[in-house]
Amino acid sequence: MTDIVADAGSDTLLQRCAGGDRAAFRMLYDRHAPRLYAVALRITRQAGPASDAVQEAFIQVWRNAHQFDTVRGNAEAWMTGLVRYRALDLLRRAGPPMQSLDDAPEAPALAPLDTSPDGRALRQCLERLEPDRRKLVVLAFVEGFSHTELATRLATPLGTVKSSIRRALASLRECLGA
Amino acid sequence: MSDDLPTDRAGLYVLGVLDAAEMQEVRRDAVRDSALSAAIEAWERRLTPLTALAGETTPPSELWDAVTASLDGALPGAAAPQPRRQPGGRDARRGPGARAVAAWRATALGAMAVAAGLAGFLVWRIQATVQPAAPRLTPRFAMILPLQQTPGGWLVEVQPDGRIRAVAQGNVSHAADRDFELWALADHATRPVPLGLLPIGAGSADLHPGNLPTRNFKLLVSLEPKGGSPTGLPTGPVMFGGDVIRPPG
């Protein structure tokens, strides 16, 4: 897949949105909504809040497209952030879902990262982490688990979770650079 | 923990491990701290490939309609007869918008039926203890309840002179950069009128809108940018609603 080309396309579509081009907005939606909806659904675990998160994010995309910096920014990362933060807000507001504590989550396999160059680089850096730390990072980002929720679900002391994540972030930053 | 690493707030924020209060703190600080906001962007670029692990799921077909309906400021009633005709194909969007509105109405009506039941109970209790001075000066009431899976709501009292007192119930909350805005939608009207911003937590507020419809109306609450909708019409999702009822007598 030509991810770099596709992403340059999204930047261009965003610029057209800033000029009021609804057709470009629709193309942007068609291209990104299935991925963003899956991201929101994974975090909120419910269709209603997931739809809300994606809806609000796209409204912000349309309104704030003119603020998007095509030189510095990355359209996919920007839109992903809009959806994830909104989904996390909704999740945190609703409180943790009722699930039994023996439901110890497994981190998903990293193979899907290989579909893009950035993903492959991230996978390599993740695989350099200790398995426990890698699992914390992946579960936090994909499932939206907070420090506290990770500690509870993985039956690990909160202090250990926090320090493992802190070290994992430092390693990733060093491995991936800016 | 004998941990000499500095706390990477941007990394923790983007990773998503912070609780609600910590997330709001980071957002607030990032507005003033350009280094922090740049660090957040850098972490977003680093970690976004992880979204591939969630796969892809086709969103509900109404979602696109809901997005465009929000952009047009369209709300329940926007699909009413006599759509505004404009050159340039604006009307082309009314079809799907109307479907979204119909779906919204179905949800809203269900919730409002519940709201009306609760409000009826409430008014019955008020009637039992308060004797109105004169029938014509009876205040009206509404319970504003969630139309979506959101906790909380408001108890609203509409005075005969148009003043509105709203008391938050059930610890209703929103993100720091948002406000809940109250709207009145008159029967058969296509556009709601803004009444003011609602309190959250356990707060109450007195609103003096001065533009209450003279006809019967519903109350709606949308999530808006801080300070309320910049357009005079709802721009965010409509999240709460309720019927205004007048106690008998």
Inter-chain residue contact A59 with B71, CB threshold 8 Å: yes
CA–CA separation, A50 vs A59, rounded Å? 14
Q: CA angle, B164 as apex, B163 and B170 as ends, to 5°?
A: 165
Is residue B175 predicted with pLDDT exceeding 90? no
> If pLDDT is split at 50, 70 and 90, which confidence band does B97 have?
very low
Q: Are A60 and A75 in contact (CB under 8 A)?
A: no
**For residue B100, pLDDT beyond 50:** no
CB contact under 8 A, A93 and B173: yes
Between B30 and B114, residue with greater pLDDT: B30
Helix, strand, coil share of chain A (percent; to 5): 75, 0, 25
Convert the pLDDT of each residue in A14-63 to its tens digit: 888 888 889 999 999 999 999 999 999 999 988 988 999 999 899 888 88
* Percentage above 90 pLDDT, chain B: 20
* Whole-complex ipTM: 0.92
Q: What Å distances lie between residue A157 and A89, A101, B234, CA to CA?
A: 25, 14, 45
**Is pLDDT at B44 greater than 90 in this prediction?**
yes
Partner-chain contact A77 B149, CB within 8 Å: no
The backbone torsions φ and ψ at residue B10, rounded to the nearest 5 degrees and listed phi first, read -60, -45
Distance from CA of B203 to the nearest CA of A (A): 17
pLDDT for position B66:
87
Helices (H), chain B: 9-15, 20-32, 34-47, 62-71, 94-129
What's the order of all strands across the beta sheet hosting B217-225? B193-197, B178-186, B217-225, B238-243, B140-146, B153-158, B164-169, B204-207
Min CA distance, A66 vs chain B (Å)? 16
E strand or H helix that includes residue B239: strand B238-243
For residues B211 and A27, which has the higher predicted lDDT (pLDDT)? A27
Q: Note whether A92 contacts B56, CB cutoff 8 Å.
A: no
Phi then psi for A62, rounded to 5 degrees?
-65, -45
Query: What's the pLDDT score for residue B1?
Result: 47
pLDDT over 70, % of chain B: 69
CA angle, B11 then A83 then A65, to 5°: 100
Q: Is the whole model's pTM more than 0.95, yes or no?
A: no
**B51 to A80: CB separation less than 8 angstroms, yes or no:** yes
Neighbouring C-alpha atoms within 13 Å toward the C-beta of B176: 13
pLDDT of residue A39: 97
| Chain B residues with beta carbon closer than 8 angstroms to that of A26 | 64
Contact B57 A113 (CB under 8 A): no
Average pLDDT, chain B: 73
Sort out which chain A residues have CB atoms less than 8 A from B45's CB and list them.
Answer: 74, 77, 118
Q: Which pLDDT value is given to residue B54?
A: 94
Contact B45 A77 (CB under 8 A): yes
**Per-window interface: A 85-114 vs B, CB < 8 A:** 85, 88-89, 92-94, 108-110, 112-113
pLDDT tens profile B5-22:
778 999 999 999 999 889
Q: Does the structure show a pLDDT above 60 at B116?
A: no
Per mean pLDDT, which range of A63-72, A91-100, B76-85, B130-139 is the poorest?
B76-85
CA A101 to chain B, closest CA, distance in angstroms equals 19
Residue B230 has pLDDT above 50, yes or no: yes
Dist. CA B170–CA B175, nearest whole Å: 16
CA distance B160 to chain A (A): 36
Q: Provide the pLDDT for residue A149.
A: 92
Instruction: Enumerate the residues of chain A whose CB falls inside 8 A of the CB of residue B175.
Output: 89
Residue B170 has pLDDT above 70, yes or no: yes
Residue B130 distance to chain A (closest CA, Å) = 36
Closest CA to B21 of A89, A152, A150: A89
Which regions in chain A score pLDDT beneath 50?
A: 1-8, 100-102
CA A121 to chain centre: 16
Question: Do residue B223 and residue A54 have CB atoms under 8 angstroms apart?
Answer: no
